[in-house]
Amino acid sequence: MGIIDRLTYLRTLLSFAFRENPLLYVSIIVSVLSVFLELAAMTMLLPLSIIAAGQPLPNDMWVVRIINEANFEINGQSLFLVFLALFGLRIVTQFVGEALTLFLSKRMLSQLATRAFSSLVNWVPLKDVEKTSIGSFITLVGDESFRASNLVIFLSQFASLLLLSGLYFGAIWVYSPVVGIGLLAFMGASFLAMFESFRFSHRLGIRQVEQSQSAGSLFLDALNGLRSVRAFSAEGYVTESYRTQMSSYMRTLFSIDLISLLTRLGPALLLLGAVAAVTLWPAASTHLSMEFTFIVTVVILLMRFFPVVGQALSVALRVAADAKAGRDVTKLIQEYGEGAARVDAHQLGQIETIEACGLDFSHNKQRAVLKGFDIVLKRGSSYALKGLSGSGKSTFLDLLMRFYPVEQGRLLINGTPFESLSIGDLRRRVLLVSQETTIFNDTVANNVRFGSHANYAELERACRIACIHDSILGLPNGYEAMLSYRGTNLSGGQRQRIGIARALLRRPDVLLLDESTSALDVDTREQLVRYLREEFADRILLFVTHDAFVISRMDEVFDMAVINRSAPQQAGLPTESRVG
């Protein structure tokens, strides 16, 4: 990621932040006011040091002129009270500005995370999802959104600190151009010495993102495959791998923070050494004693200047480290956001026909899954689609759901090409139930509704058709029973029937069932097939199945060996269990 790319990303991020959170302008105004209040307070130190040394104040000092115009008596007490008032206002405005920035940063974290998640769920093509590790998306929506939101704070802080550093340098230059020139030379040498720190910090930022993604993927894979992990006694291997990755991740985080700490405190330590050396230098002692109050004031300003510069450098290092982090967040939102939806999409009516004409599709360049695929589905009929493993049955269903784009040929609904249809409208009318139903750690009712606002009567009707109603009533608390992670307190057949009920509740025009009755006993399966045929007597019902009973009950049967030229033809291939 080059400098131009980083600057482009930061501009995009700031544009998003200010567009969504106009209060950021108020935060910046308050921060700038706070900076000027601190400088005004610190400039009171010179007249205070002159009074403390028992010397008269020069009438041409701007501080003296302002106090005279305000009709205040000029003495140590009044100057000290002005100093306290200015510094008190500085603290109050600093608190207000930083609190507001912190609030807006957390709000932006929510905005980035939810919009990235929404883009991922709604618009990112499955091909892009499948070629990326799940840990990458977890890190993207979580850690990287967090770092991106923090960048807003860092950039706001950097702007304020840079302004404050400039004002302090200006004050030092006014008091002594010689000190100002020396300070410039010292800062130039320091920046050259720390230039490598910026590059190293950026490399650490990239490593931090990669390590977070890797650890997140391992964590999720181990959790989802916990049965296999325990079955093969691989608990030690998995936990040790995770420990190793987290240790590396923590070392990277420590290195980033250590560099930031050294950058913040290093210049001040160098300054102290330089001042001590000059003070102990015999040739300078006489000159310093003559202008002691002036020297004390300059040193006080320098002691405030260097920590501010150190903070600015520390924040700049954090920006350099985190600039890589949120790039993909804004990219995900911009490329796949709501703007990806077609506003001119054709709206569907009742689905009468689905036609596939000469479809070609491949998941990779080596082998076509579908080739010259032709099929026609008509309203009022039920269908079975059979074929060997790898013959493309499930792939055809994925194309019907627009999980993947059609590569060659045509796919039509009511004579309209799929590409012209609203994805949302299509998926409301065509529903797919897979062999494995996703169950959430929620109540039975919420698992069946799955975002639907159906009432209890509609819920019960769908569950009766799916032959799961009696089983639900047998659970503690019935429809309000809590289901465990991945539905482990249900049988495979119960999970499948909850998936079917979930689809029935939405009353689709087309119901696609991909081996969705494979875990059912004979009696339940026969009853369910009968109910589904009755329910979809005037719609379209399509089973992908090897079950002879289900095939025998359908109006028409399609064999992939006949309608798909790339389907495997050899005898003796293993029977398909789930994916076509």
466, 517: one domain: yes
Q: Are residues 318 and 366 in the same domain?
A: no
- Answer yes or no: do 386 and 325 share one domain: no
Same domain? For 415 and 452 the reply is yes
pLDDT value of residue 539: 95
**Residue 37, domain member (yes or no):** no
For the stretch 457-485, pLDDT in tens is: 999 999 999 999 999 999 889 999 988 87
- DSSP conformation letters of 273-335: HHHHHHHH-HHHHHHHHHTHHHHHHHHHHHHHHHHHHHHHHHHHHHHHHHTTTTHHHHHHHHH
Sequence-distant (6+) residues with CB within 8 A of 283 are: none
Residues 521 and 353: beta-carbon distance below 8 Å: no
557 and 417 in a common domain: yes
What gap in Å lies between CA 135 and CA 286, rounded to an integer? 67
Q: Are strands 353-361 and 370-378 parallel, antiparallel or unpaired?
A: antiparallel
One domain for residues 453 and 558:
yes
**DSSP single-letter state for residue 440:** -
Can you give the residue range of the structural domain that contains 195? 3-19+109-335
List alpha helices for 22-144, DSSP H: 23-42, 45-52, 62-69, 76-122, 126-130, 134-139
Does 59 reside within a domain? Answer: no
Distance CA 390, CA 370 (A): 10
Q: Is the pLDDT score of 580 beyond 50?
A: no
Rounding to the nearest 10 degrees, give the CA dihedral for residues 556, 561, 567, 569: 150
Together in a domain, 360 and 328:
no
Q: Helix 177-224 to helix 235-280 angle, to the nearest 10 degrees?
A: 170
Residue 476 in any domain: the answer is yes
Q: What is the pLDDT of residues 281-337, one digit of tens each?
A: 655 545 544 455 566 667 777 767 777 776 777 677 667 666 655 556 666 676 665
Residues 436 and 497 in one domain: yes
Residue 510 has pLDDT above 50, yes or no: yes
C-alpha pair distances (Å), 506 with each of 332, 502, 514, 533: 30, 7, 18, 16
Structure-block tokens of residue 18: 């200010």
Most confident region among 70-74, 119-123, 130-134, 470-474 by mean pLDDT: 470-474
Residue 511 has pLDDT above 80, yes or no: yes
